[in-house]
Amino acid sequence: MNYTTLGKSGLKVSELCLGTMGFGTEAGWGSEERESFEILDRFAESGGNFLDTANIYKLGTSEKIIGNYFQQESVDRDYFVLATKYSLKDNETNPNASGNNRKNLMRSVEGSLKRLKTDFIDLLYLHIWDDLTPIEEIMRGLDDLVSQGKVNYIAISDTPAWIVAKGNTYAELMGWSKFVALQVEYSLLARTPERDLIPMAKHFGLTLAPWAPLAGGALTGKYLAGDNGRIKEGSKRLNDRSIAITKEVVAIAEELGVSAANVALQWTRQQGIKTIPIVGATKVKQLQENLKVISLILSEENIQRLNAVSQIELGFPGEFFAEEGVKKNNFGGFYERIQK
């Protein structure tokens, strides 16, 4: 396992992050505590230190399992870089027990600390934009948590690029903590973050943390035979386009003698931006398979084949700046000679 620094911070994280949304068996899928502990053990033994959870995963069970794991004498909590999130509801009757507001932020973090049985969170994400709370309120609240020592670093997920850009710029002007990472759904089946979110992340030096890099398992090819597993009937992850993309992933994997999961994961890591995919696994075997990605490098030709089959329209104005658009727009012929 190699390590990298998260965003523009000095925090050292493993090149893969372990997604723990499947810790707990609520909603009819996921791993029991014992198997979750084993997944955590294997991940740590391989050098992995970066964990991703959220207050809402399995209605708190994911955080509780991690908290119980930390309680074991053989486990050093401090070894791990623990990320959790706030925003999504954990109470049906309290209008402020969800959303991005400061009251929920403070309340949610206290709940997470209790379930996680720790007194600090290494990285706190805003989970999803609520389209209500002023970004200034959010940045101030996050920075207060950092000042209080309850949170070390902050990050953001599932939010429009312009909001993230405004928040980061505001924090910079105020001398507050800035975001170090951006979580987006990003995989060969979900490339729309290439329009605005990824260029924004590059500009601000945010580490990209793709969630569902295997499209919930679809890109492993295991559903090509017909069974849907935990993917809902009618999901776009299993439509004709997705199946065509998955077949190309499987074909390349067979040529290279590696798993389709490894090809799909590695594609996210070769997109010209510092990227740490959040690898979900509900079985030890899956984790072991996925960890092999660290020794895979895809050739330019393989990347091009994968890009071609999964291509999306950048739309306006992105297409003006893409390679073809730049040629057509002709900025006096100089554009191609500028090294960006």
Q: Which stretch binds ligand NAP (CB under 6 A): 100-108, 146-154, 267-275, 280-288?
A: 280-288
Q: Closest approach of Cβ 157 to ligand NAP, in Å? A: 4
Is residue 16 near ligand NAP by the rule CB under 6 A?
Answer: no
| Length of the chain in terms of residues written | 340
Choice between 98 and 286, CB closer to ligand NAP:
286
Is residue 302 near ligand NAP by the rule CB under 6 A?
Answer: no
Backbone angles phi, psi at 119, to 5 degrees: -105, 5
Q: Which stretch binds ligand NAP (CB under 6 A): 3-11, 13-21, 189-197, 200-208?
A: 13-21
Give kind and range of the element (H or E) at residue 183: strand 179-185
Q: Closest approach of Cβ 27 to ligand NAP, in Å? A: 11
Q: Closest approach of Cβ 251 to ligand NAP, in Å? A: 17
Q: Closest approach of Cβ 187 to ligand NAP, in Å? A: 7
DSSP E strands in 162-298: the ranges are 179-185, 207-211, 278-280
CA distances from 249 to 267, 275, 329 (A): 10, 20, 34
Is residue 213 near ligand NAP by the rule CB under 6 A?
Answer: yes
Contacting residue, 39, 161, 258, 278, with ligand NAP by CB under 6 A: 278
Choice between 243 and 326, CB closer to ligand NAP:
243
Is residue 280 near ligand NAP by the rule CB under 6 A?
Answer: yes
Is residue 286 near ligand NAP by the rule CB under 6 A?
Answer: yes
| 3-class DSSP assignment, residue 95 | coil
Alpha carbon distance 98, 107 (integer Å) = 10
Is 3 one of the catalytic residues? no
Is residue 282 near ligand NAP by the rule CB under 6 A?
Answer: yes
Q: Do the beta carbons of residue 264 and residue 271 sit within 8 Å? A: no
Contacting residue, 12, 26, 27, 29, with ligand NAP by CB under 6 A: 29
DSSP string, 132-175: SS-HHHHHHHHHHHHHTTSEEEEEEES--HHHHHHHHHHHHHHT
Alpha carbon distance 230, 222 (integer Å) = 11
Is residue 81 near ligand NAP by the rule CB under 6 A?
Answer: no
Q: Closest approach of Cβ 205 to ligand NAP, in Å? A: 20
CA distances from 69 to 168, 280, 302 (A): 34, 18, 40
Other Cβ atoms less than 10 A from the Cβ of 115: the count is 20
Choice between 231 and 326, CB closer to ligand NAP:
231
Sign of CA dihedral 306, 310, 311, 312: negative
Alpha carbon distance 7, 181 (integer Å) = 6
Q: What x-and-dash track marks residues 303-332 binding ligand NAP by CB under 6 A?
A: ------------------------------
One-letter amino acid for residue 218 of the chain? A
Cis peptide before 160 (omega within 30 of 0): no
Choice between 22 and 193, CB closer to ligand NAP:
22
Choice between 139 and 190, CB closer to ligand NAP:
190
First to last CA, the chain: 30
Partners of residue 17 on adjacent β-strands: 50, 278
Q: What x-and-dash track marks residues 215-244 binding ligand NAP by CB under 6 A?
A: xxx--x-x------xx--------------
Q: Closest approach of Cβ 326 to ligand NAP, in Å? A: 32
Q: Closest approach of Cβ 171 to ligand NAP, in Å? A: 20
Other Cβ atoms less than 10 A from the Cβ of 124: the count is 27
User: Which chain residues interact with ligand NAP by CB under 6 A?
Assistant: 19-22, 29, 52, 157-158, 183, 211-217, 220, 222, 229-230, 261, 278-282, 286, 289-290
Catalytic residues: 57
